[in-house]
Structure 1
Amino acid sequence: MPVFYRGPRALITHRMIEVPSRQRQAFALRQLSRIQAVEEGRDAGTTRYRAVGVSAVFTVVWAVPVLGRTSLLLAGVVAIALVVCAGACLRVRPRSAFRLLALAGGELVILVETDDRVEFDQIVRGLMRALDYRANG
């Protein structure tokens, strides 16, 4: 029995894909249709964080000369706080969820769901090789 992928999220052979979920599920490859690899996400919130970070950088440029006339200590504290805020906001990275969807017996099922792009690509390649093997054999 050829194994095309074996990992924590799936086991793919020439006949089936087995996925752990609440209970282990196995789907025969002949039973699956309309298989789709989908990337969802790209948090809209990251745009807000980036806008706040850029605003904080520009506020430092504006606040230090204005507050520096009144108090150098206050200007320094505000500048440090704004730089820390800008650094934290600009470090936020968008998150994506990768899902492998298919119709099984007329019902849409999520075969695999992960946020690891490398693992997802390996699973998709393994499934494609299994489907090719099945079609040629």
Structure 2
Amino acid sequence: MTVFYRGPCIVITHRDFRILRPHPRVFPIRDLRGVHVVVIDRSGVSITVGSSGMAGVAVVVIATGGLDLPAPLALIGGVALFAVATLAGECFRASARRYELRAVCRSEPVLLFATSDVRTFGQVKRGLIRALQAYDG
């Protein structure tokens, strides 16, 4: 048996595409048609998180001003929250794209694999291409 890709969730052989986790399924290579890539851009999420963070900072600064805290303490708290909100926004932006491998198997559209990790996605995609070529050849 020729193995084209082996990972913690996926195994691709010359016969089938096996999903091990989270819901085990097996798709025979001979039944896969119309294999294609879908890229979902979720960059709008980072704008929402950043905006929410900015609103949170404003609320905290206003609230601490009402408690008669010293101005430097209120400023430090506001800057710290702004930094956390910005960092959260950047984390979401870094994983703003989701990559999916989709196909039709026995007349049913199926999602074979999805991730935001570009490297893993490329490895799985290449493994599936090789398996399809081996089946055709």
Distance 2:113 2:84 in 1: 32
Q: Superposition pairs for residues 36-115 of structure 1, below 5 Å? A: 36-40=36-40, 42=42, 44-51=44-51, 74-92=70-88, 93-94=91-92, 95=95, 96-115=97-116
* Residue range with higher mean Cα deviation, 73-82 or 15-24: 15-24
**Separation of aligned partners in 2, 1:42 and 1:130:** 30
Give 1:23 shift.
4.9
* Identical aligned residues as a percent: 30
Is contact 2:104-2:110 (8 Å) kept? Answer: yes
Q: Which residue of 2 aligns with 1:116?
A: 117
C-alpha offsets along residues 12-46 of structure 1, whole Å, 9 cap, x if unaligned? 11121111246532111120111122233525331
The 1-side partners of 2:82 and 2:111 are apart by 38
TM-score norm. by structure 1 comes to: 0.74
Q: Deviations over 1:89-124 (max 9, x none)?
A: 111222343322111111111112333332222111
CA RMSD of aligned residues (A): 2.8
Unaligned 5+ residue runs, structure 1? none
Q: Is the 8 A contact 2:10 2:17 kept in 1?
A: yes
Aligned residue pairs, count = 125
Partner residue in 1 for 2:11: 11
Deviation at residue 131 of structure 1 after TM alignment = 1.4
Q: Distance in 2 between matches of 1:75 and 1:23?
A: 54
Q: Please give the secondary structure, in 2, of the residue aligned with 1:102.
A: strand
- How far did 1:84 drift? 0.8
- In 1, are the aligned partners of 2:9 and 2:22 still within 8 Å (CA)? no
Alignment correspondent of 1:28: 28
Cα distance, 1:54 vs structure 2: 6.5
- Secondary structure of the 1:8 match is coil
Q: Distance in 2 between matches of 1:2 and 1:44?
A: 42
Q: Given that residues 38 and 100 in structure 2 are in contact (C-alpha distance below 8 angstroms), is that contact kept between their aligned partners in structure 1?
A: yes
Q: Which amino acid aligns with 1:119?
A: T
